[in-house]
Each structure stands twice: as structure tokens, then as C-alpha cells.
């Protein structure tokens, strides 16, 4: 049951001013950069004379450093490598579901809402029979990475499978072609993958929303339960400063994750002066459980230090097809309607313009002028975050 409350949360109205984001909308020239190379491309950076070198201690399998305002990518390592995202996939969940759910609405949770939560999931403590405000559930998602809160919000959004389908469509609309959504909460599921590039796209899209920015920048809050409420703290240590991890200056958020299969993953954004950086780090190969924060810190430090001294290696903006490309798509669609394309062609890994146009058309998405090999990694695990 959904109960309409008689007021609106003021938090989302003040969030943007509080963190100084204004609005992370793209600038007119933000799509001018070329797209990043595909899997196996290694490390990309274009240093000008006097620019600092990338930090050598970063052991992550993949990472991206980007200007959050323009979407220009300043540096990357294997940005399109498909890896399990863990709870960083919750950013795509939020980008997809936030527009459909009113923060001030209240919902009494049923047992069915909580059905199907994976073993070992991180939980905020949602209880069947208790009535929650939607905004409380979102704080449970962002701070505690609660899969129970995700399940309830997905139920309000039309159901688990419908939400997964909406997330997949939203990823494609944003130009994120590496992501395959199976479980909206990021729980390790065979076939579910994303990439450092796509996670950066999702983080940037989220920060353009004041409500998303408010939730992801909250370090602690009260959550209803136990006849009253109890405190919850954001598990993103760069934001909370917990467990001996120093809080990063100007940190905004965005979302961390961990499963035994994915390792540690992180989307981090920080603002210093008029500059906002977005960093994604996937699965560091050295150090302990908090190494992901230190590697993100090193990349943020580098990005702010290198600002204005590097040339972009790509863009988070989807490449818009020209009129010629659109005409080619129309002709391809007419041919496909008469004669189905050879299924084997989907497995080609060439980077031709024609190949990318066909792949994007088949997926019903914006052309990115590249084709990424479709790989499926069957993985399983238990996410504690």
C-alpha cells in the first residue's frame, strides 16, 4: 500500500547547493572527443609537457578518470573490460528508478517485497509490516548498500524483472554498451557485467540529479526500526572517513561495492574549486580490502594535479550519428526486415564503423562507432556490500 504524505522532502531541494554541483549537464563540445578503445587496449593518457605521470601504484584491473562536467576522459586503463560490478550497479538502479518514485511516498513492506534476496547480501534492516518513506529506503540503498531496500523499491517500480529490463534500456540509452543487467542490486549473478567506462557514465548521469547527489553524498543518517530509529553510516570510506581511511577533500560520493567474485569496486566523485572529477576503480589486485579507496585517492589527486595539462583520450558522452550514418541505419533496417543478419557476425571483434552501426542498431541504441566483443562470464558469489 502506498500512502501519500502531505509534504515533500526538502533535502533534494538543497542537495545541489550543499555540494556545489549546480548541474552536471554536458557542454556543447563534450561529444567531440573520440570514444575510448575497446577491451585489451591497456592504459591511455595523453600528457602534455610538465604534466604529472599517472600514479604507478594503481593495481586495478580497470579504471577511468573523467571530467564530470564535460564527460571528457583524462585517463583510463582497459576501460571497456567487462567485469562484475557488485553494488556499484546500484547507481544504474537509482538513475533508472528515481524518476518513477516520489521521495515523500510511504509504503508498508510485505513479505513478497523481500522475497528472493540473495544469501549473504548486505542489508539495511527493512522489516515486513513496517511502513517506510521512499526517501528512507533510498538512504538504505546508498548508505548501507541494502539489497533489502533495493528489492522493496524495485517492487514499487513494477517488479524485479521489469526493473532489470528498464535498467538495461537505460544503460543503452546512455551509451553504456558493456553492461548486462541480471540482478538490479548488483548481487553476483551469472552473465551480469559492467565496465569502468559504463560505471563512470552511470555516476555522471546520477550526479545530474539533485536527489541522487543528495543521497550519495550523505555520510550518516537515521533509519526507521526497532520502535524508533537507528543510525546507519555510508560504507564508502572516502566519504565517511571510517576504518582508518581518510576522508577525501571535496568528496561527493558516489558508490562502493564488494563481492567475492567482483572484488572491490568504486565510483568516486570529488569537487575542488570549479572542477569536479569522477573516478571509477574496478578490482585492485594488491593491498587489502581498503586498497580501492587508496587507488581512487591517488587517481583523484592525479586528476586534479593534471587538470589542464592532459588531452582527453575519449568521452563519456555517447557519439551522435551523423545524417549519413542515420541514412545508413535506415537502409540497414530495411535490409534486415527482408533478410536477417548472419548471427555469427555478432561475435566479430572488428572496430569498423559499419560493424558498430549494425551492432548499435540491433541493440536499439546510440551508435558509438565501435564494436565491443560480447563476452559472458558466468560468476557466482556473495556480496557483503
Distance CA 58, CA 299 (A): 8
**DSSP-derived 3-state class of residue 186:** coil
Q: Are 278 and 200 in contact (CB under 8 A)?
A: yes
Distance CA 292, CA 68 (A): 20
Q: How far apart are CA 176 and CA 267, in angstroms?
A: 15
Using a 10 angstrom Cβ sphere, with 0-12 exposed, 13-18 middle and 19 or more buried, the burial of residue 231 is exposed
Strands in 106-108's sheet, in edge-to-edge order, are 2-3, 106-108, 131-133
Cell of 297: 585517492
Query: Under a CB-based contact definition with an 8 Å cutoff, are residues 52 and 45 in contact?
Result: no
Q: Point out the catalytic residue in the list 33, 122, 144, 145.
A: 145
End-to-end CA distance of the chain: 29
155 is catalytic: no
31 is catalytic: no
Radius of gyration of the CA atoms of the chain, in A: 21
Q: Per DSSP, which regions of the chain are E strands?
A: 2-3, 43-47, 62-67, 72-77, 106-108, 131-133, 220-225, 228-233, 251-259, 263-272, 275-282, 310-311, 314-315
Residue with cell 528508478: 97
- Is 90 catalytic? The answer is yes
Query: What is the number of residues in the chain?
Result: 385
Q: Which of 87, 135, 155, 194 is catalytic?
A: 87
Residue of 9, 62, 82, 90 marked active site: 90
Contact between residue 267 and residue 255 where contact means Cβ atoms under 8 Å apart: yes
Query: Phi and psi for 93 in degrees, rounded to 5?
Result: -60, -45
Which is it for strands 310-311 and 314-315: parallel, antiparallel or unpaired? unpaired
- Residue 295 to residue 280: CA distance in whole angstroms: 10
Query: Collapsing DSSP states into helix, strand and coil, what is residue 270?
Result: strand
Rounded to whole angstroms, how far apart are CA atoms 378 and 182?
12
Active site (catalytic) residues: 87, 90, 145
Amino acid at each position: 500500500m502506498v500512502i501519500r504524505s502531505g509534504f515533500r522532502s526538502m533535502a533534494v531541494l538543497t542537495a545541489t547547493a550543499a555540494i556545489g554541483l549546480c548541474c552536471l549537464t554536458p557542454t556543447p563540445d563534450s561529444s567531440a572527443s573520440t570514444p575510448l578503445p575497446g577491451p585489451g587496449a591497456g592504459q591511455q593518457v595523453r600528457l602534455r609537457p610538465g604534466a604529472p605521470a599517472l600514479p604507478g601504484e594503481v593495481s586495478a584491473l580497470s579504471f577511468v578518470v573523467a571530467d564530470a562536467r564535460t564527460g571528457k576522459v583524462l585517463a583510463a586503463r582497459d576501460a571497456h573490460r567487462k567485469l562484475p560490478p557488485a553494488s556499484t550497479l546500484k547507481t544504474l538502479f537509482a538513475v533508472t528508478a528515481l524518476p518513477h518514485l516520489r521521495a515523500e511516498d510511504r509504503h508498508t513492506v510485505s513479505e513478497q517485497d523481500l522475497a528472493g534476496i540473495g544469501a549473504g547480501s548486505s542489508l539495511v534492516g527493512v522489516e515486513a509490516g513496517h511502513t517506510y518513506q521512499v526517501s528512507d529506503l533510498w538512504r538504505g540503498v546508498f548508505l548501507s548498500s541494502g539489497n533489502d531496500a533495493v528489492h522493496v523499491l524495485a517492487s514499487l517500480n513494477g517488479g524485479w524483472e521489469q526493473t532489470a529490463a528498464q535498467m538495461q534500456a537505460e544503460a543503452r540509452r546512455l551509451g553504456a554498451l558493456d553492461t548486462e543487467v541480471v540482478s538490479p542490486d548488483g548481487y553476483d549473478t551469472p552473465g551480469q557485467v559492467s565496465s569502468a567506462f559504463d560505471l563512470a557514465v552511470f555516476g555522471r548521469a546520477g550526479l545530474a540529479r539533485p536527489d541522487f547527489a543528495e543521497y550519495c553524498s550523505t555520510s550518516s543518517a537515521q533509519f526507521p526500526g526497532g520502535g524508533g530509529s537507528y543510525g546507519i553510516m555510508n560504507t564508502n570510506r572516502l566519504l565517511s572517513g571510517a576504518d582508518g581511511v581518510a576522508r577525501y577533500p571535496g568528496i561527493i560520493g558516489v558508490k562502493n561495492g564488494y563481492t567475492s567474485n567482483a572484488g572491490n569496486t568504486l565510483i568516486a566523485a570529488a569537487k575542488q574549486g570549479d572542477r569536479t572529477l569522477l573516478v571509477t576503480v574496478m578490482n585492485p589486485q594488491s593491498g587489502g580490502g581498503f586498497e580501492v579507496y587508496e587507488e581512487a585517492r591517488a587517481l583523484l589527486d592525479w586528476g586534479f594535479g593534471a587538470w589542464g595539462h592532459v588531452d582527453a583520450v575519449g568521452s563519456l558522452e555517447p557519439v551522435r550519428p551523423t545524417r549519413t550514418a542515420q541514412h545508413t541505419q535506415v537502409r540497414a533496417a530495411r535490409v534486415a526486415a527482408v533478410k536477417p543478419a548472419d548471427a555469427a557476425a555478432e561475435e566479430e571483434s572488428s572496430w569498423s564503423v559499419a560493424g558498430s552501426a549494425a551492432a548499435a542498431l540491433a541493440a536499439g541504441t546510440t551508435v558509438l562507432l565501435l564494436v565491443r566483443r560480447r563476452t559472458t562470464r558466468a560468476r557466482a558469489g556473495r556480496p557483503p556490500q
